[in-house]
Structure 1
Amino acid sequence: MDRTERFYKIELLLRSRGCVSFAALRDELAVSPATLKRDLQYLRDRLNAPIVYDAFDNGYRFDTTAAARGERHELPGMWFSENEIHALLTMHQLLAGLDDDGVLSRHLQPMLERLQGMLGADAAESRELMRRIKVIGTARRRVPSRWFELLGSALVQRRRIWLRYFKRSDRRESEREVSPQRLVHYRGTWYLDAWCHASDGLRRFALDAVREAKLLEAKAKNVPVRELEAALDAGYGIYGGGDTKVKWATLLFNADAAQWVASEEWHPQQKARHLADGRYELQVPYADATELTMDILRHGDSVTVAGDKALAAAIALRLKSALSRYA
């Protein structure tokens, strides 16, 4: 029987029998005297259980004066084992690495304190664990917390949003009404996938490019998840597809690069195989070559594009342009 089960057992025994001796509790729980003492102390100090020792009846019971004052004690409806608590604290620390301006922490902090309290004497250990989890992010584009919270609230409430949005491709601002569908975290920043009522289609908006946002009363248009994934996740990276036809790129990595790339997922639907000469062939779908080009260039002379003449030409042009700057 773990500690959580013991707490509920103690609660049940005291409620059903009224007053229970130390020896009876120990026999029912099959624990040592020291363990039972710690459990009783924990219930009193951490969970505010009004357990008192009755010298006359030589046993433990709930304080009747607390009930008379209208104070009702209930154990929490959900419990976690110590391993589960440690896992949740670790998850909290991982989320903190994605948390701009403490948006998530403000809402999760009460739960965090409760989880640490449930660990009792191991709270210091949990804090030490959290200090040993580190998330390193590079080139992060921070999102103002007011937009993240407003858009997240609209997503949950299924309401429309008015946006004033800066589009980097033409360096212009536009106003539009959108129905939020999901929030996406990708490569250090947040995006909103939404149905744009101005263009009458699904669009992806970078939250750091939102200049102004307002919650509207109108109900959001709902787009099925499968339709959302088909439209925005089919292509490569953040340029998922939209109205553009998806093509496939074939990349050939040399044997040295293959040791690393073979362990990477460039796209959920990628196709890959090791070649007899040690090279690694990777095929990925793409609709817009912008991000794929950047990732190919990242591998320099370790990779070549096979078959796709347009993509290969674009890579060659970028390399020539870069080389000219260092001539």
Structure 2
Amino acid sequence: ALPGLWFNASEVHALLSMQHMLSNLDAGMLSGHIKPLQARLKALLGSADHSAEEVEKRLRIVQATKRTVSSKYFETIATATLSRRQIRLQHYSRQTGEESERTVSPQLLTYYRDNWYLDAWCHLRNDIRRFAIDAIRHVELTGDKAKDVSQAKLKESLESGYGIFSGSKVKWAKLRFTPERARWVAVEQWHPQQKGHIDPDGSYLLEIPYTDDRELLMDILKHGADVEVIAPDSLRGRARDEIGKMAVRYTLS
């Protein structure tokens, strides 16, 4: 190895993330490929002045909200996605508590916040939908060829809004963070298209696009009294209502 050769923060995170993901994949259709990849990643991590064992011992990635995915279902979904075949699945909606059967054409497998999602064309809704793979209760391949959706349409539907929720009707949220919280938030990326600036009083004004307010609202509320929703009125109202419910729950009897 070259003396002093090392990786930057993004490269280290990428290598460790890949290694961590591979080590957590159960045996399945990828089992024959996982070990060579892990060996290659280990060699890359140890290609500097420090051994791979020392790197693994001194650096770690913490997963806080990972949900368990059935290796059997993941294998079937991955096979369908790569071989361009439709699948029939039984999906559990956590929002409604109900199950539904869908026939979908897989487009992408997405790994987001330590969990796997299937982005697919839903033949029931005749539109793009995103399914949490851990919420899929049954899946099987069909004999039909998958419908292909253009990359432009996928990008428009899946990347326009905030977080994991897809959609095409974009709104813009305007948030003001206190000077104290601005020290953290001002250097964070909430969305690739976000806009932000520091006001004269030290507070931070952040503007971000969203199509569904559920995940955005959760991320706003975790900042407590250090953030205020300025616009739109609909999002401000949702935050106010949720804070009101929280206040009732924490009111001393």
Tell me the TM-score normalized by structure 1: 0.67
Distance 1:325 1:152 in 2: 43
Q: Which moved more, 1:96-105 or 1:156-165?
A: 96-105
- After the TM superposition, which segments of 4 or more aligned residues of structure 1 sit over 6 Å from their partners? 87-90, 117-122
2:20 is matched with 97
Unaligned runs of 5+ in 2: none
One-letter amino acid matched to 1:259: R
Give the structure, 1 or 2, with the largest relative contact order (CA under 8 Å, sep 6 or more).
Answer: 2
Separation in 2 of the partners of 1:232 and 1:317?
A: 28
C-alpha separation in 2, matches of 1:97 and 1:176 = 32
Counterpart code for 2:74: F
Q: Deviations over 1:142-175 (max 9, x none)?
A: 2111222221121111111111111122211111
Q: Which residue of 2 aligns with 1:133?
A: 59
**RMSD value, Cα:** 3.0
Residue identity matched to 1:205: F
Q: Are positions 1:187 and 2:145 aligned together?
A: no
Match of 1:280 among 185, 204, 225: 204
Fraction of identical pairs, as percent = 39
Q: Shift of residue 307 of structure 1?
A: 3.2
Q: Which has the higher helix share?
A: 1
SS, match of residue 231 in structure 1: helix
The alpha-carbon deviation at position 202 of structure 1 amounts to 0.4
Return the offset for 1:190: 0.8
From the CA coordinates, give the structure whose radius of gyration is larger: 1
Checking the alignment, whether the CA contact within 8 Å between 1:100 and 1:142 is kept in structure 2 is no
Opposite residue 18 of structure 2, the aligned amino acid is: L
State which of 62, 69, 78 in structure 2 corresponds to 1:143: 69
What is the aligned counterpart of 2:159 among 229, 233, 252? 233
Query: 1: distance between equivalents of 2:46 and 2:118?
Result: 40
Distance 2:38 2:156 in 1: 37
Which residue identity is paired with 1:182?
L
Alignment of 1:70-85 (within 5 A): none
- Contact conserved, 2:175 with 2:231, CA < 8 A, in 1? no
Over 3 Å counting, the alpha-carbon distance change for 1:114 and 1:192 in structure 2 is closer
Find the aligned partners of 2:248 and 2:70 in 1 and give their Cα distance. Answer: 38
Letter in 2 for 1:102: L
Paired position in structure 2 for 1:301: 225
Partner of residue 157, structure 1: 83
Partner SS for 2:25: helix
1:1-327 correspondence to structure 2 within 5 Å: 91-98=14-21, 101-103=24-26, 106=31, 107-113=33-39, 125-242=51-168, 245-327=169-251
Q: 1:116 to 1:141 in 2, by over 3 A?
A: closer
Question: What is the distance in 2 between the residues matched to 1:157 and 1:148?
Answer: 14
1:103 Cα shift? 3.5
Q: Which AA in structure 2 matches 1:294?
A: M
Aligned residues: 244
- Specify the code of the residue in structure 2 equivalent to 1:262: A
In the alignment, the residues of structure 2 paired with residue 308 and residue 119 of structure 1 have an alpha-carbon distance, to the nearest angstrom, of 47
Distance in 1 between residues matched to 2:223 and 2:94, nearest whole Å: 26
SS of match in other structure, 1:97: helix
Question: What is the TM-score with the length of structure 2 in the denominator?
Answer: 0.85
- Per-residue deviation, 1:295: 0.8
Counterpart of 1:147, as a letter, is: Y
